[in-house]
Amino acid sequence: MQTIPFLRKTGEAPFTDRGIKKAGQLLKPWTGEGVKGVAITGAPLSKTSISHSGAFMAPQTIRQMMHSFSTYSIEQETDMWDGVITDFGDIEMHVTDLIQSQNRIYSALKEIQSQHNGALIITLGGDHSVSAGAIKAFQETRGRVGIIQFDAHFDLRNTEDGGPSNGTPFRQLIENGVISGDQLVQLGIRDFSNGKLYHDYAKDNGVTVYTMGDIKREGLLTLLKKSVEQLKQTTDNIYISLDMDVLDQAFAPGCPAIGPGGLDSDSLIEGIQWLGENPSVKGMDIVEIDPTLDFRNMTSRLAAYIIMQFSLFYSKREGGK
């Protein structure tokens, strides 16, 4: 075999520094073996959004943004250099049959979670509709789920006006009997971003709702501790559903439904770190980033940073899981 000086394969990094490993390099394509630790799976579905959304591009953009970060946490003085974040790739979506796309998300994630019991899967949306299938698959393989939902919106809309969309995932889960309302805690719900009918629905079904006002008064960490404590009493595992629009528009300019009055990114990061270390947390999704609307991929950068912080604190769990 011949060699050519200075040649790098298409796609390889144009410059490497011996002292720095990119967080993106921790991503290893799954090759059929059993997986442990944090892993990601793309669910590139956003045709299910009520408004036009390019959120299907987020999995790929978040992966790219992981190349903007290194593996070393100076705050923890911990290097994830030798770590691995398994990348299961993306679930293939159907061009025109959106229900089939949703079913594929459920089926693929169920199979993944079932095969890889020791793995913590982070599902990358896509829009929030992907959480319905993701959570159903999670519960069927990991036991009764308690959900921590970061969101400006209930996502409890009726499914009759438009089918199972990015406004309905938690309604679907409750209506289909997958979960009951007491398995769900919603944090960051915001003024003028929801309908009273759906607040009533949340109340009627025993969903715990913390508004942005609650967070500003009590602090996110306090509410998270309270929420996890409460959920642990009736569920087996905690699943985080992170809709990035829980953040204020100044910190997440790339969410389809941006607005003022939301969370700042530092608070969210602190919350994610705490959840990352908490051994009850066994699943996660990150949704509602539309790279076509973002500024300099700021929102995907934040998502990549959150994956890294979560993974870092996950690695601090006792027994490593």
Which residues does the annotation place in the binding site for Mn(2+)?
Answer: 128, 151, 153, 155, 243, 245
Given the rule CB under 8 A, which of 133-141, 155-163, 176-184, 234-242 is the region that contacts its own copies?
155-163
- The residue whose two tokens read 């300019």 is 253
The answer to whether the beta carbons of residues 155 and 243 sit under 8 Å apart is yes
CB of 257 to its own copies, least distance (A): 7
The only residue of 301, 310, 313, 315 in contact with its own copies, by rule CB under 8 A:
301
27: number of Cβ within 10 Å: 17
Distance CA 208, CA 122 (A): 23
CB of 125 to its own copies, least distance (A): 15
Residues in region 108-147 near its own copies by CB under 8 A: 108, 111-112, 115
Distance CA 321, CA 279 (A): 7
Q: Report if residue 84 touches its own copies, rule: CB under 8 A.
A: no
Q: Which of 104, 84, 119 is nearest to 44 (CA)?
A: 104
Nearer to its own copies, 230 or 259 (CB): 259
Site string for its own copies, 175-214 (x = CB under 8 A): --------------xxxxxxxxxxx---------x-xxx-
Q: Report if residue 92 touches its own copies, rule: CB under 8 A.
A: yes
Distance CA 227, CA 58 (A): 28
Residues in region 243-272 near its own copies by CB under 8 A: 248-251, 253, 257-261, 265-266, 269
Distance CA 252, CA 259 (A): 9
Q: Report if residue 162 touches its own copies, rule: CB under 8 A.
A: yes
The only residue of 84, 236, 298, 317 in contact with its own copies, by rule CB under 8 A:
298
Given the rule CB under 8 A, which of 72-80, 143-151, 238-246, 279-287 is the region that contacts its own copies?
72-80
Q: CA of 26: how far to CAs of 84, 271, 284, 299, in Å? A: 5, 23, 18, 20
CB of 85 to its own copies, least distance (A): 12
Question: Phi/psi at 52 (nearest 5 deg)?
Answer: -55, 130
# residues near its own copies by CB under 8 A: 117
CB of 233 to its own copies, least distance (A): 25
Distance CA 277, CA 257 (A): 30
| Burial environment of residue 174 by CB neighbours within 10 A (0 to 12, 13 to 18, 19 or more) | buried
Distance CA 125, CA 141 (A): 20
The only residue of 91, 137, 174, 238 in contact with its own copies, by rule CB under 8 A:
91
